Chains A and B, each alone.
Chain A
Amino acid sequence: MTLKEVYNGRSVEEVVGLLGEYGNGAKLISGGTDIVIELKNKKITPKILIDISKIEELKEIREDENYITLGSGVTFTEIIENPLFSGNLHGLYKACRMVGSPQIRNKGTIGGNIANGSSAADGVPPLIALGATIKTLSIEGTREIPLEDYYIDKLKSNEIIIEVKFKKPNNNQILTFAKLGLRKALAISRLSIASLIGLNEEGIIESVTIASGALGKYPMREEEVEEYLINKKIDEKIIEEAITTLQNSMDERLKGRSTLPYKRVAVSSILRENLEELIKSRIEVEAW
């Protein structure tokens, strides 16, 4: 390892200064659940490592009238244990609950899940479905990036993600999530889908955003399925058609990939779980 120096970051300001000074040679570490393995295997060889896991200002969960803001250092455990993520935000709770193991969830952070850039990051599809934006800071100033663009508009080497923020869903909107892993605990997603769907009084879909994980190079919106579902009322036939729509867009995207035949079948139960959960949660939400 070429690691020359390590820092225990005390404040965001200090970290931004260090990143400005060292740029490419520096790497941030928080929960470490991905990066320590990459360091050990020499997949990455930074000269400087800056720990941000003990910076209090990155660990806040804030709620105001319209928005919820998660500091990038908020861990999966902290999300699961916060009552904010129940009710119509249950999909975010569920996604975080299914990450790794208790030990991984105690350490792994939502900012790290985004920054690491994995296509299979469980925390990301629900946040994309919620229309979340991330805020970054560097010596050049702050940037706000819609999370769904983040995978194209990458983080610069002198930037730190400080928070992720999303608008609270309306009362008629429900966030759902489903994932397919190889087993119950400790499974990396083979594929996952999150959807934020608003139904009117007649049960007709009046708003819909759907995001997938591990169905492409990075987590992304499934716009063709959204277009199909808008203004429809969910029943068995609509669910089947939505699945076919998603399979058709996957055929294009994953053409020639050995995993396509498997994912094509697997995705049907995952999208179905989202839509069926929506109907079930709607009944529960109405009962509150």
Chain B
Amino acid sequence: MVNISLTVNEELFEVSVREDLRLIDLLRDELGLIGTKEGCGEGECGACTIIMDGETVNSCLVMAFQANGSNILTIEGMEKEGNIHPIQQAYIDVGAVQCGFCIPGMVLSTKALLDKNPHPSKEEIREGISGNLCRCTGYNKMIHATEKAMEYMEEGK
């Protein structure tokens, strides 16, 4: 076992983890943050996307011990004081959510995109979510949701 400390959703955790544990297993099985999904387990589908030190990563491709000292945001951390994030509201309002399995990762990719580039073009939005596969909706709804989220976030300012 190896002792690591990491910040997840603004909370500091000091945990002892198995050497061969992946970050997704730490988040889901040890910390109970089951919003992060495991789909393919090899970096294709993006269902396990989280934001680690400001950038999206596939948490199935990171070892837990590598997250020592890192700052992590999962879908659970998008909610503030009981209110969901404007990106999540936009996804609901345009009907971008069907089965929901890809949504936590999709929302975090959207957030990382808008953090870097608050006014992306359609092409940039497509590129931003290109690492997240959805088998229900196609991607147009997510693009609309991202555009709607841009409006909400501007209004919120």
Q: Which positions in A face B, CB cutoff 8 Å?
A: 1, 3-6, 8, 29, 31-33, 36-37, 39-40, 49, 51, 53-54, 77, 100-104, 106-107, 184-186
Least Cβ–Cβ distance between A261 and chain B, in angstroms: 28
Binds A, one of B50-58, B81-89, B91-99, B146-154: B50-58
Least Cβ–Cβ distance between B95 and chain A, in angstroms: 24
A5 to B19, CA, bound (A): 7
Least Cβ–Cβ distance between B70 and chain A, in angstroms: 9
Chain A residues near B20 (CB, 8 Å)? 1, 3, 39
Asked if residues B66 and A32 are in contact (CB atoms below 8 Å), the reply is yes
Asked if residues A33 and B130 are in contact (CB atoms below 8 Å), the reply is no
Across chains A and B, the number of contacting residue pairs, with CB separation under 8 Å, is 86
Chain B residues near A106 (CB, 8 Å)? 55-57
Asked if residues B61 and A102 are in contact (CB atoms below 8 Å), the reply is no
Choose among B43, B56, B68 the residue that contacts A8 (Cβ–Cβ < 8 A).
B68
Given that A1-B20, A77-B55, A106-B55 are known contacts, is A8 also in contact with B66, CB under 8 Å in the complex?
yes
Over the window 29-62 of chain B, the binary record of Cβ atoms lying under 8 Å from chain A Cβ atoms (1 yes, 0 no) is: 0000000000001111010010000011110111
Q: Which positions in B face A, CB cutoff 8 Å?
A: 2, 19-20, 22, 41-44, 46, 49, 55-58, 60-63, 65-66, 68-69, 109, 112, 127-128, 130-132
A101 to B40, CA, bound (A): 14
Least Cβ–Cβ distance between A42 and chain B, in angstroms: 10
Asked if residues A32 and B61 are in contact (CB atoms below 8 Å), the reply is yes
Given that A4-B19, A6-B19, A6-B63 are known contacts, is A54 also in contact with B69, CB under 8 Å in the complex?
yes
Least Cβ–Cβ distance between B45 and chain A, in angstroms: 9
Asked if residues B41 and A100 are in contact (CB atoms below 8 Å), the reply is no
**A–B complex contacts, Cβ < 8 Å, 10 sampled:** A4-B19, A8-B68, A37-B41, A51-B63, A101-B132, A102-B109, A102-B128, A107-B57, A107-B61, A184-B130
Chain B residues near A53 (CB, 8 Å)? 66
Least Cβ–Cβ distance between B56 and chain A, in angstroms: 5
Chain A residues near B2 (CB, 8 Å)? 5-6
Asked if residues A101 and B63 are in contact (CB atoms below 8 Å), the reply is no
Least Cβ–Cβ distance between B148 and chain A, in angstroms: 21
A40 to B132, CA, bound (A): 22
A102 to B49, CA, bound (A): 10
Chain A residues near B109 (CB, 8 Å)? 102-103
Given that A103-B49, A186-B44 are known contacts, is A36 also in contact with B62, CB under 8 Å in the complex?
yes
Asked if residues B43 and A104 are in contact (CB atoms below 8 Å), the reply is yes
Least Cβ–Cβ distance between B76 and chain A, in angstroms: 19
Least Cβ–Cβ distance between A50 and chain B, in angstroms: 10
Chain B residues near A101 (CB, 8 Å)? 43, 46, 130-132
Which chain A residue has the least Cβ–Cβ distance from B66?
A: A51
Asked if residues A185 and B43 are in contact (CB atoms below 8 Å), the reply is no
Asked if residues A100 and B66 are in contact (CB atoms below 8 Å), the reply is no
A33 to B58, CA, bound (A): 8
Asked if residues A8 and B41 are in contact (CB atoms below 8 Å), the reply is no
Least Cβ–Cβ distance between A219 and chain B, in angstroms: 21
Choose among B19, B42, B130 the residue that contacts A185 (Cβ–Cβ < 8 A).
B130
Which chain A residue has the least Cβ–Cβ distance from B60?
A: A36
Which chain B residue has the least Cβ–Cβ distance from A104?
A: B43
Chain B residues near A3 (CB, 8 Å)? 19-20
Can you name 4 extra interface pairs (CB under 8 A) apart from A6-B63, A103-B58, A107-B57?
Answer: A32-B66, A37-B61, A103-B43, A186-B130
Asked if residues B69 and A29 are in contact (CB atoms below 8 Å), the reply is no
Least Cβ–Cβ distance between A118 and chain B, in angstroms: 14
A36 to B131, CA, bound (A): 18
Asked if residues B68 and A102 are in contact (CB atoms below 8 Å), the reply is no
Most chain B beta-carbon contacts within 10 A, residue among A6, A37, A53, A100 = A6
A29 to B128, CA, bound (A): 26
Choose among B44, B57, B63, B68 the residue that contacts A29 (Cβ–Cβ < 8 A).
B63
Which chain B residue has the least Cβ–Cβ distance from A75?
A: B55
Which chain B residue has the least Cβ–Cβ distance from A51?
A: B66
